[in-house]
Amino acid sequence: MNVLVTGGAGYIGSHTCVELLQSNHNVVVVDNLCNSKREALSRVEKITGRRLAFVQADIRDRNALDAVFSRHPTDAVLHFAGLKAVGESVAQPSRYFENNVLGTKNLIEAMGDHHVKKLVFSSSALVYGSEYAPPLTEDLLPNPGNPYAENKAEIESMLQDLSGADAEWRIRILRYFNPVGAHPSGLIGEDPQGKPNNIMPNITQAAVGRLSFVEVFGNDYPTHDGTGIRDYIHITDLAKGHLSALQRLSKGANVLICNLGTGRGFSVLELISTFEKAASRRIPYQFGPRRPGDVPVLFASCTRAEKALVWRAEKSLFDMCKDSWHWQNMNPGGY
Ligand SMILES: NC(=O)c1ccc[n+]([C@@H]2O[C@H](COP(=O)([O-])OP(=O)(O)OC[C@H]3O[C@@H](n4cnc5c(N)ncnc54)[C@H](O)[C@@H]3O)[C@@H](O)[C@H]2O)c1
């Protein structure tokens, strides 16, 4: 297949490009590099021994998208491009709406005009909000608790309406839980700009001395060790979930929402102690207050993805920690 990957230079996009190229798909990446580096794509080519096409463009730029679709025959789009920092979305809601919601609207209009009607979209477990008890199933009504999660819920709804209006569209909406880890080669991985928001880059940066300690938000949750429990999923398992979704786009419902997680939760302290074993070093940490909106326990029901995508996450928490460490140790300053 000829696959257009928006946001392909980013963390999840770059790992998915590896899987696509290794499965003999042709890849065109569109990315404005606002949160990534071109180097990630050179590394993807190094890992796979294959070339991809790169267009530095913004998905809000309709002329640029038209040029891409005119020049590159496209069968399907994997849409990762977006801003993803929850705190930033609270501070800059209109920027997030403009980039994420209006950017996606622009993309699907360009796709429709160029008769490209196969789409896999990156959504988030954050659309469930904080009210539901796990395991979270896809039929729960979205209950987003911040502007970023609202963007995802609005896009999901727009895609469902689109499918209702035009049955030619084939759409998969994938709700990620907590992607961590890196490609086992250590050549690509998560490389946040500025202070990392997610727990794993905080741990890896503390491991290489870029941060003096990891702040653990809350140790008074009703869990076995007081810290929050999350469903961590290895980035290569997540990337493979996209390939399964792509391969089965023509089968089943026109539009389908699927969780991508492992269905198992681990506490922050379990994550840190597993990392310490994988990296053979101690990780300094300090407890801070709970973050507003955080819930004690979150993990996915994976039944739908297992059935509809014929996909299941395979890698362990130890694999996630080992590969995250390998990446950061080989690239202490990132790309
Ligand atoms: N990483 C996570 O924990 C997580 C969890 C759930 C959902 N997601 C979603 O998955 C997708 C990918 O996340 P990621 O972790 O790889 O993030 P990332 O920031 O590493 O990658 C996103 C990429 O999109 C690009 N981009 C952003 N806005 C753009 C625009 N207007 N035009 C063109 N390119 C643009 C960025 O430069 C970046 O390369 C995002 O939509 C994110 O919301 C991520």
Distance CA 49, CA 186 (A): 16
Write down the mean pLDDT value for the chain: 97
pTM for the complete prediction?
0.98
Confirm or reject: Cβ of 80 under 6 Å from ligand 1. yes
The protein residue whose alpha carbon is closest to atom 42 in ligand 1 is 84
Name the band, by pLDDT with cuts 50, 70 and 90, for residue 293: confident
| Sheet of strand 118-124: strand arrangement | 53-56, 26-31, 2-6, 76-79, 118-124, 170-176, 255-260
Confirm or reject: Cβ of 1 under 6 Å from ligand 1. no
Confirm or reject: Cβ of 223 under 6 Å from ligand 1. no
Confirm or reject: Cβ of 9 under 6 Å from ligand 1. yes
User: Can you name the CATH fold of 2-184+232-261?
Assistant: Rossmann fold (3.40.50)
- Please answer whether residues 317 and 271 qualify as being in contact, where contact means their C-beta atoms are separated by less than 8 angstroms: yes
The protein residue whose alpha carbon is closest to atom 23 in ligand 1 is 7
Angle between helices 62-71 and 103-113 (to 10 degrees): 40
263: closest CA among 215, 221, 304?
A: 304
The protein residue whose alpha carbon is closest to atom 27 in ligand 1 is 82
Catalytic residues: 148
Pocket test for ligand 1, best of 35, 257, 324 (most atoms within 8 A of CB): 35
Q: Is the peptide bond before 135 cis (omega within 30 degrees of 0)?
A: yes
Q: State pLDDT tens for residues 90-145.
A: 999 999 999 999 999 999 999 999 999 999 999 999 999 988 999 999 999 999 99
